[in-house]
Structure 1
Amino acid sequence: MKAEVVMNDRTWSPVPGYRGIIAVDAEGFSKRTDVSQEHMAGFIPEVLAESFRLADLEEVWAGREFPSHRGDGYAFGFDAGKMPGVIDPWLATLQKTLMASEPLSGGPLRLRVSLNIGPLRVDGGPHDGSGTARNDTHRLLNATVLKRLLAAASRDVTRVVAIVSDQCFEDVVRSGGRTLHPDHFCAVSATVREKQFARRAWVHVPTPSGNLLAAGITALLSGEDSADDVRVSSSQGAAHVFNHATGNLNNGEIGGDQSITFRA
């Protein structure tokens, strides 16, 4: 007589598919008038849709998953395989689109952009998109370093600053040949103190200006009292920081042992 084997209930579950995540947030939204905020809330998705169209990435916008619109920002998931095109040309196209269009009131729209990839469940349920990858995307969006970089640039020239998660950078950028060269990015420690959040990430400014060009990022932000020690590095140990058609910041090369501090 054969013995029967009784299997226990399954104690594991499959890893959800990897999704790309975009989150954007408008600078100084709460300082605008009520009328301006109302206009801006409608303008943000319009300018995003137009920028994806101009970048020949309409399918990213048309196929967005778990979209979230808070008025001052927008976030959604998409096919992670499209991330190389989102990094370039979309970020640069978003900068150009914002330069070519203005909201009806309140001055120019300037956006912080956060890009991430990670496993997120998308099955049509009420909790689509919930998970660590999405949470981290929004933490990166609110990192001190990203806010300071946008504030340091000319509001009339620089409309976009972007932060890319380390996972996204490793999988999409450092792997090579799919999008921008790694030296278009600068490694930072992205911190949000009130959330006890700290992650290595990478910043990219499609069109740097103002103090980012005049003083360079090191001179602008070093020497300030801070607990956020930011180590600059690149794929080859030295980088031309934010070298994107308009020139180099920091007036040359910086080695991997140079640190920059940011004040919250």
Structure 2
Amino acid sequence: MPTTVPVPVPGSESRPLPPYRALLAVDAKDFTGLPAVQHAAVSELIPQLVDLALAKAGLAGLRDAKRFPASTGDGIVFGFDPARLPFVLWPFLRVLDDVLGEYNVISVGPRIRLRASVHVGPLPDSGAPGDGNGTARNDTHRLLDSRPVKAMLASASEQTTHLAAIISDRVYQDAVLGGYTRLLPDHCTEVPATVEGKNFAQRAWLYVPSPSGSLLSAGVPAKEPAAAGRPETPPAPAPSAARYQGNSQRVKDGAAVMGDIGGDFTFTGRSDTTNRAANQHWGSGDNVSGSKNVGGATEDRT
């Protein structure tokens, strides 16, 4: 007879809180689209690239002290001492982007582009089976699968942008706003992290070490943080600051946008159609007011 494992009843008594563990998870973009013959090799390659980046970032100790590491097939997840969180945010994520870029230049195989999520929370870590399982780990994977980080990597050039990272709000508040890391608030973009088909919605922050293509035009922060000594206080949001808060659609003449847009929104359509409007927030999206000029005629809209 198998030994029965007692399942605790929530709220039935007070018990010690598990230790806090930071978590890093990564997975590969378009892994399932690879030929089956390449799956095993890419699954083995990803942790090697992560370990190489940890060593290059001066985090060999973290590499050798991972807690409850696991392969997810198209990536990996592991826990670590939360005291190292500031160094994972900077310089590790930037170094991982560089390592992926160098690999993709010399490799004759498929390009490896990764999503990464960083989170922290209480998780069992006693050396027993079941270590690392809990809400914090579930949320780490949800963040990794969320719409914004997938859309961000898909919108970027595969030649330039090799990594898109999503940082939980708890990590952002403690490590970034707390001033413990060289990754500054200026280099993070707030997003609503949701996962299709899942009951999950959290505030989170995107960091793209090497933005490209439409990410640059959208105002995604540049790669290099400012020099040491710059005040690490969160700047007040400027009216013209671009923010990702939803999805866009391509329409016949112009652009349709769902979500929030910071600042003015301008596009030029076919012929003499020009649209420029000041941004307003209305309900779950944006209400645009201003003038629409078509072929010399003017139509005011509010």
Aligning the two structures, in what range does the TM-score lie when normalised by the shorter sequence? 0.7 to 0.9
CA distance 1:180–1:238, change in 2 (3 Å): same
Per-residue Cα deviation, 1:47-104 (whole angstroms, up to 9, x for no partner): 0110000000011111001111022110000000000000000000000001111496
Report the counterpart of residue 6 of structure 1 in structure 2: none
Report the counterpart of residue 187 of structure 1 in structure 2: 190
Q: Say whether the 8 Å CA contact 1:33–1:106 is kept in structure 2.
A: no
Partner amino acid, structure 2, of 1:181: L
Structure with bigger RCO (C-alpha 8 Å, 6+ apart): 1
Instruction: Note the C-alpha offset of 1:152.
Output: 0.4
Report the counterpart of residue 246 of structure 2 in structure 1: 261
Report the counterpart of residue 95 of structure 1 in structure 2: 97
Q: Aligned pair count?
A: 225
Report the counterpart of residue 166 of structure 1 in structure 2: 169
- Distance in 1, matches of 2:157 and 2:201, equals 27
Partner amino acid, structure 2, of 1:113: A
Report the counterpart of residue 40 of structure 2 in structure 1: 38
- Distance in 2, matches of 1:111 and 1:66, equals 21
- Distance in 2, matches of 1:34 and 1:193, equals 26
- Distance in 2, matches of 1:67 and 1:259, equals 32
Instruction: Note the C-alpha offset of 1:45.
Output: 0.8
- Distance in 1, matches of 2:49 and 2:129, equals 27
Instruction: Note the C-alpha offset of 1:177.
Output: 4.1
CA distance 1:259–1:95, change in 2 (3 Å): closer
Report the counterpart of residue 121 of structure 1 in structure 2: 124
Q: Say whether the 8 Å CA contact 1:39–1:105 is kept in structure 2.
A: no
**What pairs up with 1:9-88 in 2 under 5 angstroms?**
11-88=13-90
Task: Give 5+ residue unaligned stretches, structure 2.
Answer: 1-11, 221-232, 249-257, 259-302
Per-residue Cα deviation, 1:190-230 (whole angstroms, up to 9, x for no partner): 0013111100000000010111124546xxxxxxxxxxxxx
Per-residue Cα deviation, 1:106-155 (whole angstroms, up to 9, x for no partner): 42100000000111110001110111111000000000111000000000
Partner amino acid, structure 2, of 1:238: P
Q: Say whether the 8 Å CA contact 1:32–1:106 is kept in structure 2.
A: no
Q: Say whether the 8 Å CA contact 1:174–1:235 is kept in structure 2.
A: yes
The two structures have a TM-score, normalised by structure 1, of 0.80
- Distance in 1, matches of 2:244 and 2:169, equals 18
- Distance in 2, matches of 1:62 and 1:68, equals 14
Instruction: Note the C-alpha offset of 1:238.
Output: 1.7
Q: Say whether the 8 Å CA contact 1:66–1:129 is kept in structure 2.
A: yes
Does the residue aligned with 2:54 lie in a helix, a strand or coil? helix
CA distance 1:122–1:130, change in 2 (3 Å): same
**Runs of 4+ that moved beyond 6 A:** none
Does the residue aligned with 1:49 lie in a helix, a strand or coil? helix
Report the counterpart of residue 243 of structure 1 in structure 2: none
Q: Say whether the 8 Å CA contact 1:172–1:179 is kept in structure 2.
A: no
- Distance in 1, matches of 2:141 and 2:41, equals 23
Larger gyration radius, structure 1 or structure 2: 2
Report % sequence identity: 40
The reply to whether residue 235 of structure 1 matches residue 234 of structure 2 is yes
Q: Which has the higher helix share?
A: 1
Q: Say whether the 8 Å CA contact 1:36–1:105 is kept in structure 2.
A: no
Does the residue aligned with 2:176 lie in a helix, a strand or coil? helix
